[in-house]
Amino acid sequence: MIQTLPVTKAREELTQIVDNAKNRLDEYIITVNGVPAAVIMSHAEFESWKETTEILSDPTLMKAIREGEKDIKKGKYVTWEELKKELNLDV
């Protein structure tokens, strides 16, 4: 859940805000004089967001993803069961 709070209220409730961000994945927009100034979110969400941004900004990786999606649509893939058999894995 995303909530918007003025910086004064965020300061008063910082411990609870951090707990909610960490445990419930709540997100907070902190305002200063009514203008958004910062965001508080869980570290896990932040790392995920950073990773997504890095992937989206990598043209080579994005090209590979698009090609993989085309292959899947064309049925050009190997199932997990087929791969285990091909590699002689008893997993």
Q: Which domain holds residue 36?
A: 2-43
CATH number at residue 19: 3.40.1620.10
In a domain, 29, yes or no: yes
Question: In sequence order, which residues have a C-beta less than 8 Å from that of residue 37 and are 6 or more positions away?
Answer: 7, 30, 31
Q: What mean pLDDT is predicted for residues 16-21?
A: 97
Tell whether 34 and 63 lie within a shared domain. no
pLDDT digits (tens, 9 = 90+) for 32-56: 999 999 999 999 999 999 999 999 9
3-class secondary-structure state, position 30: strand
Task: Note whether 34 and 62 are same-domain residues.
Answer: no
C-alpha to C-alpha distance for 49 and 40, rounded to whole angstroms: 13
The answer to whether position 15 is within a domain reads yes
Q: How many domains does the chain have?
A: 2
Has residue 91 been placed in a domain? no
Supply the pLDDT for residue 18: 97
